[in-house]
Structure 1
Amino acid sequence: METVDNAGAPGARARRTPLTRAQITGFWGAWAGWTLDGMDSVIYALVMAPALTELLPNSGYKATPATIGLVGSILFALFLVGWGLSFIWGPLADRFGRTKVLAATIFMFAIFTGLAATSHTIWELGLYRFLAGVGIGGEWALAGTYVAEAWPEDRRKMGAGYLQTGYYTGFFLAAALNYTIGAHYGWRAMFLTGAVPVIVSIVVLLRVKESDKWRQAESRTEPAAARSRGPLSEIFSPRYVKRTTVAAVLLTVAIIGLWAGAVYEPAAVIQLALKNGMSKPDAIRMASIATGVLSIGTILGCLALPPMAEAIGRRKTLAIYFAGMAVTIAASFGWAFYLPNGLTPFITLLFVLGFFGGNFTMFSLWLPEQFETRVRATAFAFCTSVGRFVGAGVNFLLGAAVLHMGTLGVPVALTALVFIAGLFVIPLAPETRGEVLPQ
């Protein structure tokens, strides 16, 4: 079989460009931040019930299951609004560099996650989660942009897969912490563990070097029209407006599906475990195990996506992952959740749901390929922010639907329809397989 080397010459065995120490250090700094970001994001889902059970009476409300579900959804919607406002980090990163702004995002979400442990009312918890969301929302855009620019062309696609595993490793880490620290010391201790990323932010600031592509872009003289518009206006110029719009829609689809499953998965597992006769502490531990299963599946999905995208293209690969999400969300929440002994099939389906949840890797790989360096971070941050705003609204509607229908499964299962709609949008996106990262 004929092989191709890095330069594209036929007849030679493919060889990867070696990574420099700076590239390795930069990747691990970005990966660690993204891991702790994922851990922080899922902590709330794991501790929502015990935290609100304590804080609702302090705020003048009864801690009934319906109220916990509704207020929990509202607070998570606030968190997603904070994520949405994180588009501010993109223009800052395009102006001042990736690493400085990346460190700032990590520091912000760590501080306000830790402060959530001091909450006495739902209002305080909502404020801290909103501000933590602003920090968390910028991390993915900046980490994904940095790795795409810092790694050599023949390795950056797989680098996107490696990077995305960090977020779901964070899920697994949060589940492990909840199984141990959370089960013994409560929800406040869980939020305190979210302050650890402060150390990572300092390491990123001191040890990670700025990407050469950003330095080169800064040194180039841009056309006067581009300078006057700025990066946020530029991504809506005739050159980029279609790409920006389509990418934002596709990310919105992915975010709605991720959070419908991830936020309600622990509550669904706890309900199924209690129905099976487990004690409440054992049910909480089972939710941690289920989150770990979901995380392992997602990590595998992240690693499988880049080779598939290189083999069959970006659009076909995303279509496969979206179709998989539609089927498994409907099957897990619409079918297994209602079985008399549904705990085992539900958790089994969570693994498959997790695998297709690795669709987020596509955006870490694909978005940087669609925009040039001077607007790349802005475009990445904006497209992810739009999805979070819409996701916040959908999450609020889901909470209201759960309260109105008196069941968790059907409202979440209906989010499968969003992925079916996304299949019709994918053909509008540019196919960039085989193209190098634009300068």
Structure 2
Amino acid sequence: MEYRKKTVVASVTGLTLEGMDIMFISFAMTMIIAEFHIDLATGGLISSVTNIGMLFGGIVFGILADKYGRVKVFTYTVLLFAIGTALTGLATSIEQVYVFRLIAGIGAGGEYGIGMALVAEAWPKNKQGRASSYVSVGAQYGVILAALISAVILPTLGWRALFFVGVIPVIFAFIVRRNLDESPEWLAAQKNKTAVKKKEKGKLLQLFETPRITFTTLTLIVMATVQIAGYNGLMIWLPSMLQQSQGLSVSSSALWTISTAVGMIIGMLTFGIFLDKFGTKRSFGLFLIASACAVFLYSYATGSVGVLLGGSIVGFFSNGMFAGYGALIGGLYPVQIRSTATNTIFNFGRAIGGFSPILVGFILQSYDMKVAMLYLAGLYCMSFLAMLTLKKGNDDQVNHAI
């Protein structure tokens, strides 16, 4: 039990720091654009570069974690992430910002899947949903923490000081290395000759080794992409949509963001319980359909109460599912490729889903909020149909825990 708690604490802290770092860019963007005299599109590339780094880091560090151990590689990802974040504060040109954000993204991309693999291997099957949800709320804690730190540092010390906070993960990495033992399941697999033989095949290729595994991998990539695309489309554009359609002030939009984040946290914790009790298809099915309905109906919300309450409900369902992907992906692949699978699949979703705000922006320019929300609702319906194709199988390579 003590080891289980340590894996959750380590993974939650890692995801909190990652969420905090990503939001630092959002809060500091205006100052960065002003200092380097760049346009909005050039500034927006900072996030794109970070996402590319996450995809690359997710694949590379996922493979390394499966080969050399979860805790050891997890520590390196946090250190790299901290270095990239701190160096961002020293950048003297926008090109240097891109390079340092790429480094930070590589570290952050590796951290997520490894942390989820640790949790999946430490907790029993009937509690993995809840454990995964505990970890997933870390990203929302990071958003809140970033808002508080930014409010204190930006007005007085400027945007560079904000990124010097990136040295904190170095301390965290040291603590993790000293107090967390390697995953017992991974250690046992290393002693298994069959596991060692599989390991030699190339972990990334094992995600596409047979038609069944390939189909499962592609299905999960679709679901992860929808999850990220829906989240980005909602959180980046909804405050602006509401300011235009409802005449909300910036302060009211901030209140909306807080209420939606609270709904997301409650949704994640609830989804974890549902996942353990009702299984994958029922839990994801319910939340995906509810997300589609909630998002579409939200375009008709009016008044302060309706907007705030509706935002909480949308956040509850649409991002509540985020809590389940660690348990879902981790349960579908054996220990030998678990970190590789989790990191590769979810970071592909991040990279592709990261373009959703561009499409939402185009829709808003050409149409209106209702059409944009219909697009987001359609994404959740697509993910629902993809989820239905996940089936139990007799494949030795994949443990289909559906």
Q: Which residue of 1 aligns with 2:315?
A: 354
1:7-406 equivalences in 2 (<5 Å):
19-20=1-2, 22-55=3-36, 57=37, 61=38, 67-68=39-40, 70-85=41-56, 86-222=58-194, 226-238=198-210, 240-265=213-238, 271=243, 276=248, 283=250, 288-332=254-298, 334-335=299-300, 345-356=306-317, 357-398=319-360, 405=366
Aligned partner letter, 2:313: V
Amino acid at match of 1:219: K
Whole-angstrom distance in 2 between the partners of 1:253 and 1:174? 25
Instruction: Measure the CA separation in 2 of the matches of 1:412 and 1:162.
Output: 29
Contact kept in structure 1, 2:11 and 2:115, CA below 8 Å: yes
In the alignment, the residues of structure 1 paired with residue 295 and residue 166 of structure 2 have an alpha-carbon distance, to the nearest angstrom, of 29
User: What per-residue deviation string (whole Å, max 9, x for no partner) do you get for residues 409-432 of structure 1?
Assistant: 865763332212111111111369
Greater helix share, structure number: 2
For 2:306 and 2:168, locate their aligned partners in 1 and report how far apart those are by CA, in whole Å. Answer: 35
User: 1:81: how far off?
Assistant: 1.5
Tell whether the 8 Å contact from 2:195 to 2:336 is kept in structure 1 after alignment.
Answer: no
Rg bigger for which structure?
A: 1
Cα distance 1:26–1:381, how it changes in 2: closer, same or farther (>3 A)? same
The answer for the alignment partner of 2:396 in structure 1 is: none
**How far apart, CA to CA, are the structure 2 residues paired with 1:150 and 1:114?**
32
Q: Deviations over 1:14-58 (max 9, x none)?
A: xxxxx12x3322321221111111112222233333432333x2x
Letter in 1 for 2:331: E
- Supply the AA of the counterpart residue of 2:267: G
Aligned-pair distance for 1:289? 4.2
Q: Which residue does the alignment assign to 2:375?
A: 414
In structure 1, what residue type is equivalent to 2:121?
E
Which residue is equivalent to 1:64?
none
Q: d(CA) in 1 for partners of 2:125 and 2:355?
A: 38
Whether the aligned pair in 2 keeps the contact of 1:46 and 1:266 (CA below 8 Å) is: no
Match of 2:189, as an amino acid?
A
Any unmatched runs of 5+ in structure 1?
1-18, 62-66
Could you state the TM-score of these two structures normalised by the residue count of structure 2? 0.86
Counterpart position of 1:4: none
Q: Indicate if the aligned counterparts of 1:298 and 1:358 stay in contact, CA closer than 8 A.
A: yes
**Which residue number corresponds to residue 388 of structure 2?**
427
Cα drift, residue 353 of structure 1: 2.5
Moved more, 94-103 or 169-178: 169-178
CA change 1:329–1:78 in 2 (3 A) is farther
Supply the AA of the counterpart residue of 1:364: G
The 1:274–1:104 alpha-carbon spacing in structure 2 relative to 1, beyond 3 Å, is farther
Which amino acid counterpart does residue 391 of structure 1 have in structure 2?
G
SS at match of 2:224: helix
Number of equivalent positions? 394
Q: CA RMSD in A?
A: 3.1
Counterpart residue identity of residue 359, structure 1? M
In the alignment, residue 115 of structure 1 is paired with which amino acid?
L
For the structure 1 residues 54 and 286, does the alpha-carbon distance in structure 2 shift closer, same or farther, using more than 3 Å as the test? Answer: farther
Runs in 1 of length 4+ with deviation above 6 angstroms?
406-409
**Deviation of residue 71 (structure 1)?**
3.3
Aligned-pair CA distance for 1:78:
2.0
Partner AA of 1:373 in structure 2: V
Match of 1:25, SS state, is helix
Ranges in structure 2 where 5+ consecutive residues have no aligned partner: 394-398
Counting aligned pairs with the same residue, the percent is: 24
How far apart are the structure 2 equivalents of 1:369 and 1:345?
A: 38
